[in-house]
Amino acid sequence: MSATGHFAPAQPAASFHAPVPARRGWIGDLRIWWREVDKWLLGLVLLLMLIGTAAVAAASPASADQLSTADVQLDEFLFFKSHITWQILGIGVMIATSFASRDNARRMGILLFAGMLFLLFFVPVLGAEKNGARRWLEFGMSLQPSEFLKPGFAIAMAWILSWRLRDPGLPVVAYVTGVMVLVGGLLMLQPNLGATILFAGVWFVLVLLSGVSVQRISALVGAGVIGLTATYFLYDNARHRIDAFLGGGTAFDQVDLAQRTLLAGGWTGSGLWLGIRKMNLPEAHTDYIFSVIGEEYGLLICAVVVLLYLAIVARVLLRLVDEENLFVLLAGAGLVTQIGGQAFINILVNLQLFPSKGMTLPLVSYGGSSTLAVCFTFGLLLAITRRNPFLKRETPGLRDFLSNKDDRE
């Protein structure tokens, strides 16, 4: 009752609920993504894909001619048209994956690793044989599980090694080494020595970054040398390729043909569709696309391709320098090692500096499922390296991690 004797009107009870923020919607999510994504890395990837499209356009007639028969004549631009379709799908996969949070990127990588590892058990038995190897499963389309296993492997290994922060007593190095032995054994059953070497390289880099002692690193290197030596004596295909490489080969060897094609165009190239040597080059649109670039576009463009790969590796490492999340640091390093290592091996093969390994050039070579796998890898990289530009880092990240490495051993 009021002082005048009248009842005051009832007041509404105070609300204890916080105001509900308005939903951002897809436009708001897109703005946040664009603000946080590494635009330099995205631009480098798209530029390499553009060069890859031009390279496959140059190589498509040669591959179509070699795969044509008396009964079936392939369209000379068959691989070029198909490549454009896969590139568009790959860009969609990459952008969609890059929207994921770091936690979701980790979950996707782990699930992918588990799924592809499961399929890898069936490849030696049910896989389709091509060129003397069983690496593909046919599900209406060819699927090479080892291609999708690559990004999942890097994510899973980084996740296991990051357990060390929660429990320093866990033998995480032994865990990832056991996984590497399993994956390597399954790959060698196909057989696929090139992929085994690449996976071993990713494993070694992650173990090195995880803070193992020099003595253990030396032991791991020694075990790797013993493994390669055993492979030479137990794996006929590897022995023949290594012998051909060390012996100089002949004019009919793939690696020798690739080098001759690479150098045929000189510094500026013979011009689009004017190359001649590419017509005799096997797998011109996949394994030896770098040589086709050299003949038709010139060694200067080859140098640009090499610099783009180096720029991608350097950009990711610079992004990780101030990273304070151990999982992100290891995952980013593992993913970029996988991409850079594969490109490095492919280019060395084309330069006749490495035995033939049947490995494509990421983002450049023609591919179906392999293109999607590489784009998914870069989508994961873009996702885990996203950061709010307005947040300041208070820790030196990778610098401190490496400088204090001995303290954790």
7 found inside a domain: no
From residue 124, give the alpha-carbon distance in Å to each of 119, 121, 135, 179, 312: 10, 7, 7, 18, 34
Work out the angle at residue 146's Cα, subtended by the Cα atoms of residues 143 and 148, and round it to the nearest 5 degrees: 70
What range defines the domain where residue 65 resides?
37-387+395-403
Higher pLDDT, 210 or 301: 301
pLDDT tens-digit map of 138-150? 777 778 899 999 9
12 found inside a domain: no
Number of independent structural domains in the chain: 1
CB 52 within 8 A of CB 364: yes
What was the pLDDT predicted at 369? 84
228 found inside a domain: yes
Q: Is the pLDDT of residue 51 over 90?
A: yes
Q: What are 136's strand-pairing partners?
A: 128
Tokens representing 288 are 């030896």
What was the pLDDT predicted at 17? 47
Q: Is the pLDDT of residue 397 over 60?
A: no
29 found inside a domain: no
25 found inside a domain: no
From residue 189, give the alpha-carbon distance in Å to each of 123, 157, 183, 185: 9, 22, 10, 6
H/E stretch holding 143 reads: strand 142-143
Smallest CA-to-CA distance from 146 within 169, 122, 171, 178 is with 122
115 found inside a domain: yes
Average pLDDT over residues 213-228: 72
When computed from its CA atoms, the radius of gyration of the chain, rounded to whole angstroms, is 26
351 found inside a domain: yes
What's the chain's average pLDDT? Answer: 83
CB 155 within 8 A of CB 380: yes
Q: Is the pLDDT of residue 282 over 90?
A: no
409 found inside a domain: no
